[in-house]
Amino acid sequence: MAASAQYPGVYIQETYNHSLAVQSGRTAVTAFIGDFAGVPTGGVRVNDWLDFTELAVDDSDAGQVLGAVLKSYFQNGGGHCYLVSTAGSTLAEGLAAVSALGEVTILVAPGLWDQGEESAGEWARALTGWAADNTAMAILHTDRGHTPVQADAAVDTWGLDESQRPFAAVYYPWLRQSGVADPVAPSGAVAGAWTAVDSARGVWKAPANIVLRGIDGPVHEATDTDQGAHLNLNFIRTFSDMGTVIWGARTRSETDQWRYIPIRRLFSAVERDIQRALRSAVFEPNAAPTWERVRAAVDSYLHQLWQQGGLAGGKPGEAYFVQIGQGITMAEDDIAAGRLVLKVGLATMRPAEFTIVQFTQEQS
């Protein structure tokens, strides 16, 4: 409370300012998980390729696979990542270690198929389940020798339910890495490309039509017919005028809402950012002043996202909405129970997956 200095004495002025802001967090932090002897149980951060070469990772098949995948990850724009080993532990314990890292948004299992098709299914379900629970994504791949038909059939046997399918993206086929005799799983290069696209454009940009570095080509040259018959496989293809490119941007979801990777990832990023910001509102009075601070902070965050090109709409009111308040998102029972309910809507942009050129010839 401000005091007016009208006579000699000591005066105290109290100020209270409870600000709330929503900050954009990292959208592409990858954890590579698998049976990696020499990697600490709780995971280790790797900032670049030099960091990895200094680790005491063994020369086993698993270690060599990890090295090839990580090399393609960094060559294609990957930033700092984590290695989490399941050597001597269970997959569940490995995923708990991933959770403890606190910032992982992408999961990759380089040795997904090392133990056969049944094990691949178990890992795929576990990784995708973790991703769904943590607003993350699982980048998965098909087996080395699969044809497109075999790949699609094998992935279908994983049995991902519809609540999990939006959080998984599957890539085909394996790749021929420059200077390396054996093919490499595509998931490392893809994760690196996702990171590069997020940095250059934003999480809302489809991570496709991207030329891969350090790759001589896919081990199987897919055709338009292959891709048309297996739309939920994200193909990596070679075109004479482009090189080797990621040529797909779909999740495993069959629904229009979550079919595309950038839409699912954008919603996940917004959800994470808002949840993190709202922790500062916990135990604040569940009343109009708090609601207005929350509304203003989220509106400012989404307005900036729209200005950056992350949302559709010619004006903010067409791009998003933020709702909060009694009689709007909360009833009296909600307020009495301490529930603060915020509703946010986003107008997202779908990738131009099919470009149709139409010619008409008229005779004179």
Residue keyed to tokens 């109290």? 14
C-alpha 163: how far from its chain's center?
16
Residue keyed to tokens 């990772």? 57
What tokens were used for 349? 């942009």
C-alpha 183: how far from its chain's center?
25
Query: What pLDDT does residue 309 have?
Result: 95
Query: What pLDDT does residue 353 have?
Result: 78
Distance CA 58, CA 201 (A): 37
Q: What is the DSSP letter of 185?
A: -
| Residues comprising the chain, all counted | 364
Distance CA 268, CA 29 (A): 13
Distance CA 75, CA 188 (A): 10
- Amino acid 181 reads A
> Cβ of 41: how many Cβ atoms within 10 Å?
14
What tokens were used for 321? 């909405």
Buried/exposed code over 252-285 (b: 16+ C-beta within 10 A; e: otherwise): bbeeeebbbbbbbbbbbbbebbbeebbeebeebe
Query: What pLDDT does residue 20 have?
Result: 87
Three-state secondary structure call for residue 204 = coil
Query: What pLDDT does residue 6 have?
Result: 66
Start-to-end CA distance of the chain, whole Å, equals: 86
Task: Going from the first residue of the chain to its last (364 residues), give the mean pLDDT of each consecutive group of 10, the final group possibly shorter.
Answer: 58 53 94 91 92 77 82 97 94 97 97 95 98 98 96 96 96 96 96 98 96 97 94 95 95 95 96 92 92 95 96 95 95 94 92 79 72
Largest CA distance in the chain: 99
Smallest CA-to-CA distance from 265 within 332, 331, 205 is with 205
Nearest 5°: phi and psi at 81?
-140, 180
Domains of the chain by start residue, with CATH = 30-262 (3.40.50.11780), 286-364 (no CATH)
Asked if 79 contacts 194 with a C-beta cutoff of 8 angstroms, the reply is: no
Asked if 257 contacts 269 with a C-beta cutoff of 8 angstroms, the reply is: no
